[in-house]
Structure 1
Amino acid sequence: MKMIDKKVDLRVTRTHKLLTMALLDLLCEKGQLFSNITINEICDKAMVHRTTFYKHFKDKFALLSTTLTWVLRDYLHMNVEDRLQQPLQSVSKMLFGNVLETIVQNQQKDEGFNNFFIHYIGEIFRRDFLELKRRGKQFSLPIELVAEFHSGVIRLLVTWWIQHFEENVTAEQMDEYYYLLVNENIMLE
């Protein structure tokens, strides 16, 4: 019975890999926007039947989430405190110099992709703050509020950074902006 279970796991792993690689290839194609990619295109590229796709994923956004998690696996294994101490520098480590940079550049004009990606990044940081709470870190405010606040600021900064990509703003500068935004008394006079 154990051999059958292992075989099923290998088939699931293989199917996920084929679909993930197909989506990555499509996202990296110049001019190919995520919003225009169809399930049929993904399945054709992966050589996987459409019904098989739906056995594994609810829709292409679920596949995109799995694909981003696979692309960001090294980043997600980083120490939570390191990611939170220098949030934009840690984002830059995962964003620049790999396939994700190509994807973000190619998808820059795709509002659907960008909204999903920014939300995905924000969720990582929200979970990081909740992990700190689980580890016993004390906060003077409700942790859920702190997590939402910081993940919102990081989402905003990543969005701004992607939109101003050609201005060559460094990750260090972005972290400086982050700390200024969360620590300064920015008041309208």
Structure 2
Amino acid sequence: MPTNTNDPRVKRTRQLLMQAFMELLEQRKKNVSSITVQDITSYATVNRSTFYAHFEDKFAFLESWMREKFLEKLKDELPNAALSDIGSLRTLILIVFDFLFCTRPYMTFADRQYETLFEVAMQKELNDLLFTWLSEQAEPSVSRETVETTALIASWGIFGSAVEWSRHPQDRSAEDMARDVLEVVAAGLAPVIG
């Protein structure tokens, strides 16, 4: 792994690899599992050794790709990429639903091996965002452990609901599902934020 991820050259190379992967997904109509490290490096016109200088393996690359795409979506659609109230929590829930809906077409049965990897990457970002917000909003009497647990439960509740919905989006609208998820999550947050 590069030691200085803030180095502009490192950022450029990582971005080049990510763009190559996205273009292979979109233009070649390939699925995640069918794209190899060799495909990515050839399309990005870099050596395989360059890829491995940035990522341990394809799994590490895919986790980074999922995390970056999710964070981009958060920055684009959530003011300041932060939560401020229940309205922004609703927006966050819809972002998660939409993100999973948009990435599902790139996944096939062969890609199931990567689902857990993607779940962990997204859920961690979601948990971090919720924990930061809850830490700022928590009643003074609420312990850090309670805030951590609440963020963990809420993040998995939002994420798990979105995963299930994304498998069968025709059964119910994202808006309806998000409204119900928000109601349950908000009730779970009430003991922490009052």
For the criterion TM > 0.5, the same-fold answer is: yes
Please give the TM-score of this superposition, normalised by the length of structure 2: 0.72
Q: Distance in 1 between matches of 2:67 and 2:127?
A: 15
| Residue in structure 1 matched with residue 113 of structure 2 by the alignment | 112
Deviations 1:105-150 (A, max 9, x none): 1215321333333332221221022202442523477112111211
Q: Which runs of 5+ in 2 are unaligned?
A: 1-5, 189-194
Choose between structure 1 and 2: higher helix proportion: 2
- Equivalent position amino acid for 2:40 in 1: I
Select 1:80's aligned residue among 73, 80, 83. 83
Identical residues among aligned pairs (%): 26
Alpha carbon RMSD of aligned pairs, Å? 2.9
> Please, which moves more after superposition, 145-154 or 55-64?
55-64
Deviations 1:153-173 (A, max 9, x none): 112111111110343x32221
Instruction: Go from structure 1 to structure 2 and tell me whether the alpha carbon gap of 1:50 and 1:56 turns closer, same or farther (over 3 Å shift).
Output: same
1:142 is aligned to 2:140: no
- Amino acid of the residue matched to residue 64 of structure 1? L
Distance change (3 Å), C-alpha of 1:55 and 1:30: closer
1:64 aligns with 2:73: no
Aligned partners of 1:173, 1:16: CA distance in 2, in Å? Answer: 38
Measure, in 2, the Cα distance between the counterparts of 1:20 and 1:28.
12
Distance 1:153 1:108 in 2: 24
Task: Please name the residue that 2:44 is paired with.
Answer: 46
8 Å contact from structure 1 (residues 20, 67) kept in 2: yes
Q: Name the structure 1 match of 2:174.
A: 171
Q: Aligned partners of 1:31 and 1:51: how far apart in 2?
A: 26
8 Å Cα contact 1:43/1:49 also seen in 2: yes
Residue 47 of structure 1: how far off its partner (Å): 1.0
How many residues were matched structurally? Answer: 171
Maintained 8 Å contact 2:30/2:106: yes
- Alpha-carbon spacing, 1:50–1:178, altered in 2? closer, same or farther (3 Å): same
Distance 1:107 1:29, change over 3 A: farther
